[in-house]
């Protein structure tokens, strides 16, 4: 199996405020991998460091054998890596269509149309809302729009930061199910989730972050069945 992402000893944070204390993890081709952990332990910071939004001090990000540690966001996107942040992941004052267009800047109109059509196959809800402002969407629809926009660049590796946060249980199931569909279509997925049980149930493997580093890594089924982990992280027992 080929390695999509290898993270080696990454430390980082915001200026002089260190948050990540040496993150090691990997994602293989075709996997769905979930990162869980308590609030404030650095999960979002980890993805932000990869995307150059927070600072990396040491360590490397290797994507498909290439060191992309210092790459700019646009170059990472061109390479097939897409990222949906935890907050502010749509432009509320733009329409759904305009938001999707933002995912394909510099794309020819023909390619853009094809990509939007493809995204709408996964999220048909967007088709019906094209000329509505993103501000008018429900929480679940906004997440669908954010993921749809990330799909416009035709990624092979998708990073999602809490796509089901603050959604109703029905929407949570729905979104995770569709993320799993994307994986079945060949997109490798790394997902940060508070709804750990839901996400781990679809995942190959999981990582538990504590204090800015990986405290535990295991196959998803092991994490789901471990009573200690259940007690701390999965809201069971």
Q: Which residue's Cβ lies closest to Mg ion?
A: 44
Quick note: the x/- pattern for Mg ion over 16-55, rule CB under 5 A, is ---------------------------xx-----------
* Residues within window 72-111 making contact with ligand ATP, judged by CB under 6 A: 86
Name residue, tokens 């959604």.
167
Should residue 183 be labelled a site residue for ligand ATP when binding is judged by CB under 6 A? no
Shortest Cβ distance from residue 47 to ligand ATP (Å)?
8
Rounded Cα distance, 140 and 143, in Å: 5
Cβ proximity to Mg ion: between 140 and 163 the closer is 163
Of positions 3, 9, 29, 40, contacts ligand ATP by CB under 6 A: 40
Should residue 42 be labelled a site residue for ligand ATP when binding is judged by CB under 6 A? yes
Should residue 199 be labelled a site residue for ligand ATP when binding is judged by CB under 6 A? no
* Residues within window 76-135 making contact with Mg ion, judged by CB under 5 A: 86
Should residue 17 be labelled a site residue for ligand ATP when binding is judged by CB under 6 A? yes
Rounded Cα distance, 179 and 174, in Å: 9
Shortest Cβ distance from residue 42 to Mg ion (Å)?
8
The number of residues that bind ligand ATP (CB under 6 A) is: 12
Should residue 153 be labelled a site residue for Mg ion when binding is judged by CB under 5 A? no
Of positions 34, 44, 99, 172, contacts ligand ATP by CB under 6 A: 44
State the binding partner of 66 from Mg ion, ligand ATP, none, CB within 5 to 8 A by kind. none
Shortest Cβ distance from residue 162 to ligand ATP (Å)?
6
Tokens read off for 67: 């060191």
Of positions 4, 7, 10, 19, contacts ligand ATP by CB under 6 A: 19
The number of residues that bind Mg ion (CB under 5 A) is: 3
Rounded Cα distance, 152 and 82, in Å: 9
State the binding partner of 39 from ligand ATP, Mg ion, none, CB within 5 to 8 A by kind. ligand ATP
Q: Dump the DSSP string for the chain.
A: --EEEEEEEEEEEETTEEEEEEEEEEEETT-EEEEE--TTSSHHHHHHHHTTSSEEEEEEEEETTEE-TT--HHHHHHTTEEEE-SSS-S-TTSBHHHHHHHTTTT--HHHHHHHHHHHHHH-HHHHHTTTSBGGGS-HHHHHHHHHHHHHTT--SEEEEE-TTTT--HHHHHHHHHHHHHHHHTT-EEEEE-SSHHHHHTT-SEEEEEETTEEEEEEEHHHHHH-HHHIIIIIS--
Binding site for ligand ATP (CB under 6 A): 14, 17, 19, 37, 39-45, 86
């Amino acid at each position: 199996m080929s390695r999509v992402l290898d993270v080696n000893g990454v430390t980082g944070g915001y200026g002089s405020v260190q948050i990540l204390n040496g993150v090691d993890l990997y994602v293989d081709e075709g996997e769905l991998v979930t990162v869980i952990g308590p609030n404030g332990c650095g999960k979002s910071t980890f993805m932000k460091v990869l995307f150059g939004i927070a600072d990396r001090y040491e360590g490397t990000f290797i994507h498909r054998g290439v060191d992309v540690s210092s790459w700019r966001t646009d170059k990472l996107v061109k390479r097939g890596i897409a990222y949906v942040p935890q907050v502010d992941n749509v432009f509320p004052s733009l329409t759904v269509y305009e938001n999707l267009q933002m995912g394909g800047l510099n794309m020819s109109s023909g390619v853009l149309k094809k990509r939007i059509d493809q995204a709408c196959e996964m999220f048909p809800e967007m088709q019906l809302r094209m000329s509505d402002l993103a501000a008018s969407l429900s929480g679940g629809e906004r997440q669908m729009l954010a993921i749809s926009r990330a799909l416009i660049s035709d990624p092979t590796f998708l990073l999602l930061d809490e796509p089901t946060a603050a959604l109703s249980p029905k929407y949570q199931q729905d979104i995770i199910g569709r993320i799993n569909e994307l994986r079945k279509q060949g997109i490798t997925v790394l997902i940060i989730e508070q709804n750990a049980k839901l996400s781990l149930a679809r995942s190959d493997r999981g990582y538990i972050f504590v204090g800015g580093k990986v405290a535990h890594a295991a196959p998803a089924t092991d994490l789901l069945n471990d009573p200690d982990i259940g007690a701390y992280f999965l809201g069971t027992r």
